[in-house]
Structure 1
Amino acid sequence: KFRGFTLAFGKERKNLTLNFLNSILNKDEDSYFVDINFLDKERLPDIETGKVPELDILAKLNDGTLINVEIQVTKQEYFSKRSLYYWSRLYAYQLNKGQNYDELKQTITINLLNFNYLPYETCHNSYHVYNDKTQDILIDDLELHFIELNKFKLSDIRKLRQAENWIAYFSPKCTDEQREAIAMNNPVIKEALNYEMVFSQDEIKRRQYEIQEKAIRDYNSTILYNRQEGLKEGLEKGLKEGLKKGAEDKAIEIALKMLENGSDVNFIADVTGLSVEKINEIKK
């Protein structure tokens, strides 16, 4: 089962967020991030549409580093472009009129993907700006991480690095029993699991989370079904029309259910693929 990212992190659990970031970014004792300030995501709208990007974490660290972490549950063909676009928006957002370029700080994006995307067997891949010949880094301001949770392979729990402990925590490849085994020797993972247990006992929060999870599963199932039906027909026109019509009808149906249960409009847009304008139209 895919783990809800916001169950583990947030303003009330800075220590977990910092541990996750320091682990994934492989920070040593001299470069540890020691504090984090969560930023308002409304401050980073899309220039053309005004839509706020669905960043699960948008924050500034104690040394000025900006970071965004995003969970992506549905596969997108051009996700690398999307990730770079939002990175560039965050990087440019730092400067106000009249400020100098030397005030720009390192900006890091971490993508947790619930699907396979890159053509590598490793589950964690990172990217920087290198010289093609010497491999020297031009500037460390750009750093992109892609963590493909379905590629994670758990071997010996006792030999896991801290970054691997976190990837295991979120990976659908790990069972609850394996997570509990990891938590026995890892206080921060244990704390995350304990909070998740408290969350699961809160009927209202749990119900809302289950509705959102079901909406995501229904949407993915609809896309898969329509694709299979289109292939059976063997007609390109039928495939395109069937996918578009069927997916849109199902997306509207899912959006209505999520609206009835009080889900956020931007979250619904991210899950269903419908525009915020369309969802607001349905809402009326």
Structure 2
Amino acid sequence: MNRLKPLNDFVFKKVFGEEETKYNLIALLNAILSKKDTDKLVTLEIVENKELTPELIEDKTGIIDVRAKTADGTQLEIEVQLTNQHNMDKRTLWYWGEIYSEGIKKGEDYRNLTKVITINIVDFEYINIPNKFHTTFHLWEDEVKDYMLTDVVEIHFIEMEKFRKLTNKNLKEDKLQRWLSFFREDISKEELKELMDMDVDIKKAEEKMEYLSSDPKTLELYKARERSLHERANMISSAREEGATEKALRVAEKMLKRGDSIEDIVDITELSVDTVMDLKKKMMH
């Protein structure tokens, strides 16, 4: 039986975002947030546990995230994103703001607003800091680097592609690295067994994955979500290609007006000779 993909957002929510499996989420969050023994999360409340209906599963624009709240009111949101839409910085700020503003009702004291932590697990490289697969952002003053305006903003990016490229992994001592290894689709049975022997929390998460893979209804929804994610990735790719073609056509039109040769236009824009010739004919009419 093939192992389910842990970063399929439907599977991720089933393993980490449900009341009966929140111990998995607590373990993962403690690894991501680098909690020390004295302030480790020991309990939390799952927020907005939406029913994973076939309609939501097959929605190509739908986001299946994991939301939780700690005892002190801190809100947490984890989103898994497999396709680079080149907007994760703005996107995560939008969701952070949306969750933050839900903290109080109109007319209430702003002091009642609580910290919001958003965590993005992305299957591509995004943050332009080489060799750093986990980055964390707060509101620091530009020049006085150790002055934080407020701690209510905390945004994490975890880039799987950078982690895969990491040559000197330290699985024995780094719990987050163990979790990211667990998330790999290409992990071997031997590596997975080693991880499970090393970390009881990962063993529990993998046991949940095995249970899900044996349930026919879950498998049906998982396959539907895989199709939806695949179609979404194709839509994004097609839109980018279409955008690139439109840009190339605009450049070709400018070059034709300037009197550049067909050969030079083809070389610069990478359009076909026929496409450039057709554009020239349209411009002549």
TM-score, normalised to structure 1's length? Answer: 0.71
Tell me what 1:23 maps to. 31
Tell me what 2:69 maps to. 60
Show CA shifts across 1:186-236 (max 9, x none): 000011111111111112211220232133224424654676688789953
For 2:133, give the aligned amino acid: C
**RMSD of the TM alignment (CA)?**
2.9
Q: Secondary structure at the match of 1:23?
A: helix
Show CA shifts across 1:75-123 (max 9, x none): 1122111100110111111011332122111110001112221112311
Cα distance, 1:178–1:133 mapped onto 2, change above 3 Å: same
Q: 1:171 aligns with which of 175, 178, 184?
A: 184
Task: Name which of structure 1's ranges 178-187 and 156-165 shifts more when overlaid on structure 2.
Answer: 156-165
* Whole-angstrom CA distance in 1 between matches of 2:240 and 2:93: 28
Cα distance, 1:55–1:142 mapped onto 2, change above 3 Å: farther
* Whole-angstrom CA distance in 2 between matches of 1:225 and 1:2: 26
Deviation at 1:25, TM superposition (A): 0.4
1:144 equivalenced with 2:152 (yes/no): no
Is this contact kept in 1: 2:81–2:122, CA < 8 A?
yes
Is this contact kept in 1: 2:13–2:64, CA < 8 A?
no
Tell me what 1:180 maps to. 193
Tell me what 2:101 maps to. 92
Q: Secondary structure at the match of 1:129?
A: coil
Is this contact kept in 2: 1:124–1:146, CA < 8 A?
yes
1:57-136 equivalences in 2 (<5 Å): 57-120=66-129, 121-135=131-145, 136=147
For 2:41, give the aligned amino acid: F
Cα distance, 1:176–1:83 mapped onto 2, change above 3 Å: farther
For 1:20, give the aligned amino acid: L
* Whole-angstrom CA distance in 1 between matches of 2:172 and 2:75: 31
- Unpaired runs of 5+ residues, structure 1, are 43-51, 238-284
Is this contact kept in 2: 1:3–1:170, CA < 8 A?
yes
Q: Secondary structure at the match of 1:62?
A: coil
1:11 equivalenced with 2:19 (yes/no): yes
Cα distance, 1:172–1:92 mapped onto 2, change above 3 Å: same
Show CA shifts across 1:154-212 (max 9, x none): 64555341122112222346444323211111000011111111111112211220232
Is this contact kept in 2: 1:33–1:63, CA < 8 A?
no
- Share of identical aligned residues, percent? 29
For 1:140, give the aligned amino acid: D
- Unpaired runs of 5+ residues, structure 2, are 51-60, 251-285
**Rg larger in structure:** 2
* Whole-angstrom CA distance in 1 between matches of 2:152 and 2:246: 49
